[in-house]
Amino acid sequence: MVSKVLLRLVSAVNRRRMKLLLGIALLAYVASVWGNFVNMRSIQENGELKIESKIEEIVEPLREKIRDLEKSFTQKYPPVKFLSEKDRKRILITGGAGFVGSHLTDKLMMDGHEVTVVDNFFTGRKRNVEHWIGHENFELINHDVVEPLYIEGLAKRVGARLLLASTSEVYGDPEVHPQTEDYWGHVNPIGPRACYDEGKRVAETMCYAYMKQEGVEVRVARIFNTFGPRMHMNDGRVVSNFILQALQGEPLTVYGSGSQTRAFQYVSDLVNGLVALMNSNVSSPVNLGNPEEHTILEFAQLIKNLVGSRSEIQFLSEAQDDPQKRKPDIRKAKLMLAWEPVVPLEEGLNKAIHYFRKELEYQANNQYIPKPKPARIKKGRTRHS
Ligand SMILES: NC(=O)c1ccc[n+]([C@@H]2O[C@H](COP(=O)([O-])OP(=O)(O)OC[C@H]3O[C@@H](n4cnc5c(N)ncnc54)[C@H](O)[C@@H]3O)[C@@H](O)[C@H]2O)c1
């Protein structure tokens, strides 16, 4: 009897234990299923995030391309005249991404011609002609003209004219003042600037020899000092040097007494002269420059005032082969091309100062401010010329 009671008691306790155990096992199972479920969700969510970011990685460049394409469809070019097939010329400009070349490109494009620029961006830059990229009348070729381009051959084949951008440096340190086109010059053939001076002299020789031999029409512009926006910041020329020094509050460096004279023309005047020469029948060399002569010291003071700078003027020792006088005689251009410079010096200088100020701002944003290079001038002839 007692044992029966005991057995029931034990089995009752066991049943309860069993229930308890079953309950715990059930709870554990539910917990583990829940855990797996939560785990799977977070894996799924992570996976979704990863896929989304992968898609974003692929799509973003495509979006950018679409934006670029939209921009190129809506890009505004400077206004261009419409010329008939008969009047529209196809013009190739070597060095067209440089200072003078890019302004010539602008003028010819706006006049309605088709322009192909060939440049290796050695001293020029794409930025100078970027506003034409994509225009139906414009082509830009990245090419080094040291490699054959056969321009002369091309000119002969298509009956085109060849314009040579020669220089006043062919007159060297002149004994004739002002310099006329029939003056043969006074060049030191082994001086520090001889490669440039003699190089241009020989380029003129070759052009005229080619004209005589092959009957190709040649135009030669003897360009005097030119300045304006897009000129090189650090080429050591007097205008760029003075503007940079004045803008940066550094002393304006004058070599010698500053009494040597120079005459500067604004770039738009030069470009008009080049176009007039190209369209003319004048096959002999023509001076293109501004005959308004100033001493270097006058330039320094004028630029200092226009910039509103408190820079001092510092005198350094005279440089070798520095021409004492340089002034074009432009009677030929006036007579034969009906051309003369029209932009007043101060107006041109203000435009150049504005350009340099902006360039310095761009560079300052990159924490870089260029310095002019007076060292180069000390060694050889100054680029006051
Ligand atoms: N700026 C002046 O005051 C001045 C005065 C006299 C003569 N010039 C003559 O006018 C021309 C233009 O002068 P600039 O002041 O505009 O100079 P620049 O240096 O701004 O332009 C020259 C251009 O020619 C390109 N170039 C150089 N070597 C090349 C090569 N091997 N192949 C292809 N392209 C090349 C350069 O990248 C640059 O775009 C030059 O022939 C220069 O001698 C200029």
- Residue 49 CB–ligand 1 contact under 6 Å: no
CA of 96 to the centre of ligand 1 (A): 8
Instruction: Tell me if 101 CB under 6 Å of ligand 1.
Output: yes
191's CB contacts (< 8 A; 6+ apart) are 197, 320, 321, 380, 381
Please report the pLDDT score of residue 373 as a whole number.
44
Q: Is the beta carbon of 265 within 6 A of some atom in ligand 1?
A: no
Spacing, Cα 145 to ligand 1 middle (Å): 12
Which of 223, 224, 237 best tests ligand 1's pocket when mutated (most atoms within 8 Å of CB)? 223
Taking Cα atoms as reference points, which of 243, 283, 288, 244 lies closest to residue 269?
Answer: 288
Query: Hey, what's the torsion of the CAs at 231, 232, 238, 241, to 10 degrees?
Result: 120
Distance 258 CA to ligand 1 centre (A): 27
292 lines ligand 1 (CB under 6 A): no
- Residue at 25: amino acid letter: A
Structure tokens given for 219 = 């135009």
3-state secondary structure 31-73: HHHHHHHHHHHHHHHHHHHHHHHHHHHHHHHHHHHHHHHHHHH
Q: Could you tell me which of 236, 230, 336, 326 has the C-alpha nearest to residue 283?
A: 336
* C-beta of 167 in contact with ligand 1 (< 6 A): yes
Beta strands in 206-251 (DSSP E): 218-223, 226-227
Does residue 196 have an active-site annotation?
yes
**Residue 101 CA to chain centroid, in angstroms?**
11
3-state SS class at 233:
coil
CA quadruple 10, 11, 15, 18: dihedral positive or negative?
A: positive
pLDDT tens, position by position, for the chain (385 residues)?
444 544 464 455 456 655 655 666 666 666 666 666 556 666 677 777 788 888 888 888 888 778 766 665 566 899 999 999 999 999 999 999 999 999 999 999 999 999 999 999 999 999 999 999 999 999 999 999 999 887 767 888 888 999 999 999 999 988 999 999 999 999 999 988 899 999 999 999 999 999 999 999 999 999 999 999 999 988 888 999 999 999 999 999 999 999 999 999 999 999 999 999 999 999 999 999 999 999 999 999 999 999 999 999 999 988 776 777 889 999 999 999 999 999 999 999 999 999 999 999 988 887 545 445 443 333 334 333 3
Q: What is the pLDDT of residue 75?
A: 64
Closest C-alpha to ligand 1, atom 24: 95
What is the position in ligand 1's atom list of the atom closest to the CA of 235? 19
